[in-house]
Amino acid sequence: MEVSPNALTYRGTFTEPSTEYLELTNTSSEPLAFKVKTTAPKLYCVRPNASIVPPGETVKISLILQGFTQPLPKDYKCKDKFLIVSLPCTDLDDPSKVGESWSALETKYKEQLLQKKLKVNFVIEEDDKDESQINDTSYLNATQSAPLDASALGAAGAEEEKVNIEDRSVPKETNGSIYHENAKAEADAIAQAVTGNKDVTSQEVQKELEASNAQINNLSEKLDSNETAETRAAPVAGDEPSSGISIPLAVILVLIALLLGWYLF
């Protein structure tokens, strides 16, 4: 029986399982049964650990080293060993029954039993792939997220521009009608406040109300005429600030002046 290699060498960080291979060659003229033993059975998984090698053939065995929970120090010295035992098995042709028939084979072929010892060496290497993998992942995430951010910003800008355009598209006639309604509402509120004063006689209140209504009607006619003129005029691009006092503000000022004069005199 020839065994190759003469020693087992495992390389890596030993935090993950690692596998080495062993080849057994039968150089005799009869079948040989073999069995693989180790000093650390909980650390290694041997497949197959017992079988038959026909004459002139070779069997490949996997020796799987289980990973450690923590990286090994660089000065770690491995003391593990393997023992390969072989003997003739002329009366046995089923490889699956070698394990259960091993004691009988040892008793029968004790003088022809052969043994081969193998040492195990650990070559501890640094794992420098983690840092490069992290950098590649960070770069990939950055390149994938950049187009998404740009498109999101573009959509937000388009939505904001749409809102601004809709705000600028409100016609001036609508603003004029709103001012007109506000002026009338304020005049009605002032009139109600005047009528609610119990210390003033009904005749004086009636006179003030008539005067206020006359002023409001006069200003309303002027406001309607101005709105008609603005509607017929050509539109001017952009919004320009108007000079002077607006008509709704003038209505409010007149009403305030009337009330002040009425209270004072």
Boundaries of every domain in the chain: 2-127, 170-236+243-264
What are the residues whose beta carbons fall under 8 Å from the beta carbon of 169, sequence distance 6 or more?
none
Q: Decide which of 218 and 44 is more confident.
A: 44
pLDDT at 66 over 80: yes
pLDDT at 198 over 50: no
pLDDT at 129 over 70: no
pLDDT at 179 over 90: no
Other CB atoms within 10 A of residue 36 CB: 21
Hey, CA dihedral for 21, 22, 23, 29, is it positive or negative?
negative
Sheet holding 18-25, edge to edge: 2-4, 18-25, 58-65, 44-47
Token pair listed for 255: 């009403």
Task: Give me the percent of the chain exceeding a pLDDT of 70.
Answer: 58
CATH architecture of 2-127: Sandwich (2.60)
* The model's pTM: 0.49
pLDDT at 115 over 80: yes
**Euclidean distance between CA atoms 253 and 249, whole angstroms:** 6
